[in-house]
Amino acid sequence: MRRCLLRMTLTGLAIAFALQTASECSAQTKKDTATETKGKKGFEVLEGRWLRPDGGYIIQIRSVDAAGKMDAGYFNPRPIKVSRAEATKESGKTKVFVELNDVGYPGSTYTLTYDAKDDVLRGIYYQAAMKQSFDVYFTRMK
């Protein structure tokens, strides 16, 4: 009887320890990710693939140099020519500007602001052919 009780106690302790360790690992992973994003002082925080959920459009920011010049692509779902892409800092905010120049998109632009708290790009899409502006946002693709 005592052996059975001892085994049950040890098993319970082992399970509790495993759950505690898993919880701590999960919390540490979240903390590391948040620290990694906050630790990026320059424009590199913008690098990655960004999805506009209302239409499946994707901005891919391959790199951004210290001056803000971006190597970026735009997909709908096929590639659309990007004629200009740059990042700037204005009033402590990170801004993104992307100009498209392709069939159906001549002179269309995205003017976006990076929201570090939600890790999204929010702003305006100007559809030049229709001369209309739309509020849009992009979420980071994992």
At residue 50, the pLDDT reads 98
pTM for the whole thing? Answer: 0.71
Alpha-carbon distance 31 to 69, whole Å? 30
Alpha-carbon distance 141 to 138, whole Å? 9
Second-level CATH architecture of 43-140: Beta Barrel (2.40)
Alpha-carbon distance 18 to 92, whole Å? 43
At residue 42, the pLDDT reads 84
Strand pairing category for 79-80 and 57-64: unpaired
Q: Are 110 and 137 in contact (CB under 8 A)?
A: no
Instruction: Kindly list the domain boundaries of the chain, sorted by start residue.
Output: 1-39, 43-140
Residue 128 exposure: Cα atoms within 13 Å on the Cβ side: 13
At residue 3, the pLDDT reads 52
Binned average pLDDT, 10 residues per bin, the chain of 142 residues: 46 39 41 43 92 96 96 96 97 97 95 97 96 98 89
At residue 101, the pLDDT reads 96
